[in-house]
């Protein structure tokens, strides 16, 4: 099921219940909310196929874990760690470890 919204954004829902927004270039993209909304409540923000959000976390997992990134790069929002674990303890990720979405992180910044 596909639906077009403003600025040539296409909204689709797949068989798993994921809602996905893409631009006219078929890139994950949405400026007014998350680009991917999983059935379990996990939300991911993308702009032109890059994980990106300027006013909050770019990934919000259903368990409460947060990830901050802009232009596909992890960054520290308001002096917070790049990733905040589900128990709300502020923790930085270590290099070459897996983060909640299963990606291997190659870069991290110190507090």
DSSP line for the chain: -EEEEGGGEEEEE-TT--EEEE-TTS-B--SSS-SEE-TTS-EE-EETTEE--SSS-SEE-TTS-EE-EETTEE--GGG--SEE-TT--EEPPPTT-B-TTSPBP------
What is the largest distance, in Å, between two alpha-carbon atoms of the chain?
Answer: 44
Percent of the chain scoring above 90 in pLDDT: 39
Domain hosting residue 80, numbered range:
2-91
Number of domains, the chain: 1
Residue 11 lies in a domain: yes
The tens digit of pLDDT for each residue in 50-68 reads 999 988 889 998 888 888 8
Residue 13 lies in a domain: yes
Residue 109 lies in a domain: no
7-16, 36-45, 59-68, 74-83, range with the lowest pLDDT: 74-83
Residue scoring higher pLDDT (22 or 98): 22
Residue 84 lies in a domain: yes
Q: How confident is the model at residue 92 (pLDDT cuts 50, 70, 90)?
A: very low
């Amino acid at each position: 099921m596909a639906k077009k919204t403003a600025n040539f954004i296409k909204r689709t829902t797949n068989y798993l219940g994921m809602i996905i927004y893409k631009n006219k270039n078929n890139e994950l993209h949405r400026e007014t909310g998350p680009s991917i909304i999983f059935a379990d409540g996990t939300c991911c923000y993308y702009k032109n196929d890059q994980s990106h959000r300027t006013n909050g976390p770019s990934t919000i997992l259903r368990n409460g874990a947060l990830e901050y990134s802009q232009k596909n790069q992890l960054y520290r929002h308001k002096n917070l760690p790049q990733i905040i674990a589900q128990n709300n303890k502020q923790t930085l990720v270590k290099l070459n470890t897996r983060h909640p979405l299963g990606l291997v992180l190659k870069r991290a910044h110190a507090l």
